[in-house]
Amino acid sequence: MDKTINSVKIFKILLIVYLCIFIVAGVFAAIFGVSLDINFRGGTRISYSYTGDIKNDDVADVAKGVLDAKFTVSQNKSLAGDTKTVTINLVGKKSLPAETQENLTTALTEKFPDNKIELYDSNSVSPSVAGAFFVKSLVAVLLTAVLVVVYIGIRFRKIGGVSAAITALCALVLDLLITFAVCIIFRLQIDSNYIAVVLTILGYSLNDTIVVYDRVRENKKLYPALTVRDNMNMSIRGVLTRNVVTSVTTILAVITIIVVAEIYGLTSLRTFAIPMAFGLLSGCMTSLFVAEPIWILWREHKDKKAVSK
C-alpha cells in the first residue's frame, strides 16, 4: 500500500497559498480597481496606427486635453512588426462625437508629427449591449460547469456521484478565482479572451479530476479492503506523474506564447496567455489536492454517520 502522499495535508497547505493570493488580489483591486473591456461595461475604443516609438504617457497627456471621460491607453503590434497601434479606451461612453474624435486625431498628429499617426479603428458599445454580452458569457460558463458536473455525478455514482461532482466543482471554483485574481494582480483587462480562458480551464481541470476518480473506482474493485483515504492517496500517486507531465507540457506551450507577447507587445495575447498559464497550474494542483481531499473528508464523515446509526 502506498502511503507516501498525504493529500489532506497538502490540501491544507494549498488553502493557505490560495488565501494569500486572494488577499493580494483584493489589495490590488482596492488600489487599482478591476479593468473591464468595453464589451463588458460599455465604452468607446479608438485605435491609431503609427511608426517609430510613442510612449503611452505622452498619448495620455494629449488625450487629457481633448477628452472629458476616464480612459486608458495601451499599445499593440503585429507579429511581423509592420503595424503598431496605440488604443485609447473610454469607459462608459456610449459613443464619441465625431467632432471630438477629429480633435483627438488632430491633437495626436500635431504632437507626434514624425510618427505618421492615422486612425486605424474605432468602435463603441453601449452599456446595455455590454451588460447583455456579460450575462450571455456568464450563462455559457455556468451551463458548461453544470453539465460537466452532472456528467461526473452520473459516471462516478459507484464511489459517491454527488460527492465526486460537488468536490470537482469546488476545485473548479478555485481555478476560476485564481485566473481572475491573476488578471487583477497583473492588471490585465477582463475581455472576451478571459471567457475563452475560463472555458478552457474548465476542460483541463475537470479532465485531470476525472482521471483521479477513475483510478479510485478501479482501486475500489481491486482492493476492496482499502479505506477511503488510502484508496485516494494510492490513486493520486498512480496518476501523479501523468497529470503533472501533461500540465507542464501545456504550460510550457503557453509560456512560449507569453514570451512572444512580451517581445512583440501583443496585448491581446497577454490577456489570454498569462491567466491561462496560472489557471493550468492551479487546475493541476486542485485536481489532485483539492477535489480529492474534500472528497475524502466528505466520505469519511458519511461513513462515520452510517456507523453511528
User: What local confidence, expressed as pLDDT, does residue 204 receive?
Assistant: 86
Residue 2: is its pLDDT beyond 50?
Answer: no
Q: Which domain holds residue 83?
A: 43-125
State how far the Cα of 279 lies from the Cα of 198, in Å rounded to an integer.
8
Say if residue 208's pLDDT is above 60. Answer: yes
Who wins on pLDDT, 125 or 34? 34
The per-residue pLDDT for 81 is 58
175 and 246 in a common domain: yes
Report the Cα–Cα distance between both ends of the chain, in Å, rounded.
30
* Residue 282, pLDDT score: 94
Sort strands 71-77 and 118-125 into parallel, antiparallel or unpaired: unpaired
Give percent of the chain above pLDDT 90: 34
149 and 186 together in one domain: yes
Q: Does residue 1 carry a pLDDT above 50?
A: no
Pick the range with the lowest mean pLDDT from 17-26, 162-171, 271-280, 297-306: 297-306
Same domain for 302 and 204, yes or no, is yes
Q: Could you tell me if residue 33 is inside a domain?
A: no
Residues 91 and 236 in one domain: no
Tens digit of each residue's pLDDT (9 = 90 or more) over 35-50: 888 888 888 889 999 9
Q: Which of 154, 195, 155, 148 is nearest to 169 (CA)?
A: 148
Q: How far is CA 265 from the centre of its chain?
A: 20
| 306 φ, ψ (degrees, to nearest 5) | -65, -40
- 137 and 120 in a common domain: no
Instruction: Identify the pLDDT of residue 177.
Output: 93
Examine the domain organization and report whether 240 and 216 are in the same domain.
yes
259 vs 250: CA distance, rounded Å: 15
CB atoms within 10 A of CB 141: 15
pLDDT score at 20: 96
Total of domains in the chain: 2
Higher pLDDT, 124 or 27: 27
Nearest CA among 11, 4, 5 for reference residue 292:
11
Same domain, 115 and 143: no
Interhelix angle 7-32/267-289, nearest 10 degrees: 150
Inside any domain, residue 200: yes
- 21 part of a folded domain: no
Which of 87, 103, 125 is where one domain is finished? 125
Strand order in the sheet with 118-125: 71-77, 84-91, 43-50, 118-125
Residue 92: pLDDT band with limits 50, 70, 90: low
Could you tell me if residue 23 is inside a domain? Answer: no
Q: For residue 27, what pLDDT band results from cuts at 50, 70 and 90?
A: very high
272 and 179 belong to one structural domain: yes
Domain C-terminal end among 125, 159, 193: 125
284 falls within a domain: yes
> Is residue 79 very low, low, confident or very high in pLDDT (cuts 50, 70, 90)?
low
pLDDT of the residue at 292: 86
Is the per-residue pLDDT at 157 higher than 70?
A: yes
Q: Is 121 part of a structural domain of the chain?
A: yes
Mean pLDDT for the stretch of residues 225-245: 90
- Average pLDDT, stretch 291-309? 82
Residues 105 and 249 in one domain: no
Mean pLDDT taken over the chain: 86
Q: In the prediction, which pLDDT does 207 show?
A: 86
pLDDT digits (tens, 9 = 90+) for 246-269: 999 999 999 999 998 888 777 778
Question: Same structural domain for residues 218 and 295?
Answer: yes
The mean per-residue pLDDT over the stretch 206-232 comes to: 90
In a domain, 79, yes or no: yes
Q: Which amino acid is at 23?
A: I
Residues 53 and 92 in one domain: yes
CATH number (domain holding residue 110): 3.30.70.380
Residue carrying the nine cell digits 500635431: 110
Q: Does the residue 53 lie in any domain? A: yes
Q: What is the pLDDT of residue 80?
A: 57
Same domain for 197 and 236, yes or no, is yes
Give the end of a domain, one of 125, 147, 176. Answer: 125
Query: What's the confidence (pLDDT) of residue 126?
Result: 77
Q: Supply the pLDDT for residue 19.
A: 96
Q: Read off the CATH number of the domain in which 263 is found.
A: 1.20.1640.10
Look at residue 50 in the predicted model and tell me its pLDDT: 92
